[in-house]
Amino acid sequence: MDYIKKTIFRKLTATAVIGLIAVPSGATIIPTIVESKIEEAEDSEVLEKRFVLPNGSPNEQAVLIALQDIGIRDKIALSVIMGNIRQESRFHSNICEGGARVEYQHCYYGGYGLIQWTTPDRYKGLGEFASRYGGDPSNIHTQIRYMFSETEWKGIVESMKNEGQSMGYYMDKAYYWLGWGHHGARTDYSHDYASRLVLQ
């Protein structure tokens, strides 16, 4: 930060000298402005740090980025969401329940997509959402947007933003979101992501 501080100070001092900022005799405007700019730079530096998943698939990376973009910053919360999606679809957006890799309109039974939308309302909702916003219901980015728009997700998102909680806490919220009938390996997957996510 020393370089940033010096650069900000030099620029503000130069601006004041050429008369673009009026500096009354004995005023402390330059230090005040510098301190303000330094705080902004430090805040920006903190916000730029994100969790990344080395060797993650493009779809895993897309979900991880999107989750952090909406304000989920806790490593365990991110890991639980990722672990649950992995259990549901292995991050394949074009997967029909049972494993068939098909387009949305060719999945005739069971769940479909990233979180295996299964009930008629949620399954049809994906298609309607894609049609309304001009997206492809089999596309990862359309599905992420749809996921964030659902009532079930909106019911847990603030809890997922609640940092410093246990894996069990976040897993309980994920159950409300997905309502799984079979737990499977989702907790193991969540622990796996927790061990692999790196803050950069």
pTM of the model: 0.77
Statement to judge: residues 142 and 191 lie in one domain: yes
Q: How far apart are CA 55 and CA 129, in angstroms?
A: 31
> What pLDDT score does 141 carry?
98
Same domain, 126 and 172: yes
Total domains present in the chain: 2
142/181 same-domain check: yes
- What local confidence, expressed as pLDDT, does residue 142 receive? 98
Compute the distance between CA of residue 135 and CA of residue 111 in angstroms, rounded to an integer.
19
Same domain, 116 and 88: yes
Q: Which of 30, 48, 66 is the last residue of a domain?
A: 48
For the ranges 44-58, 77-91, 138-152, the lowest mean pLDDT is seen at 44-58
Strands (E) in the chain, as ranges, are 51-52, 198-199
Report the CATH number at residue 91. Answer: 1.10.530.10
Same domain (yes/no): 139, 44: no
Residue 60 and residue 68 in contact, taking contact as beta carbons nearer than 8 Å: no
> Residue 168 burial (CB < 10 Å; 0-12/13-18/19+)?
exposed
Domain shared by 17 and 113, yes or no: no
Same domain, 61 and 147: yes
- 43 and 140 fall within a common domain: no
24, 98: one domain:
no
Choose the final residue of a domain: 16, 31, 48: 48
37 and 92 both lie in a single domain: no
CB 158, CB 173: distance < 8 Å:
no
pLDDT for 18 equals 34
- Strand, helix or coil for residue 113: coil
Do 175 and 101 belong to one domain?
A: yes
Range of the domain at 175: 54-199
C-alpha distances (whole Å) from 97 to each of 31, 101, 109, 111 are 62, 9, 7, 5
Structure tokens at 130: 């894609």
Q: How many residues does the chain have?
A: 200
Q: What is the pLDDT of residues 86-95, one digit of tens each?
A: 999 999 999 9
Q: Cα 7 to chain center, whole Å?
A: 33
Among candidate residues 29, 48, 67, the one where a domain is terminated = 48
On whether both 16 and 61 belong to a single domain, the answer is no
> Which pLDDT tens digit goes with each residue over 125-142?
999 999 999 999 999 999
- What was the pLDDT predicted at 47? 56
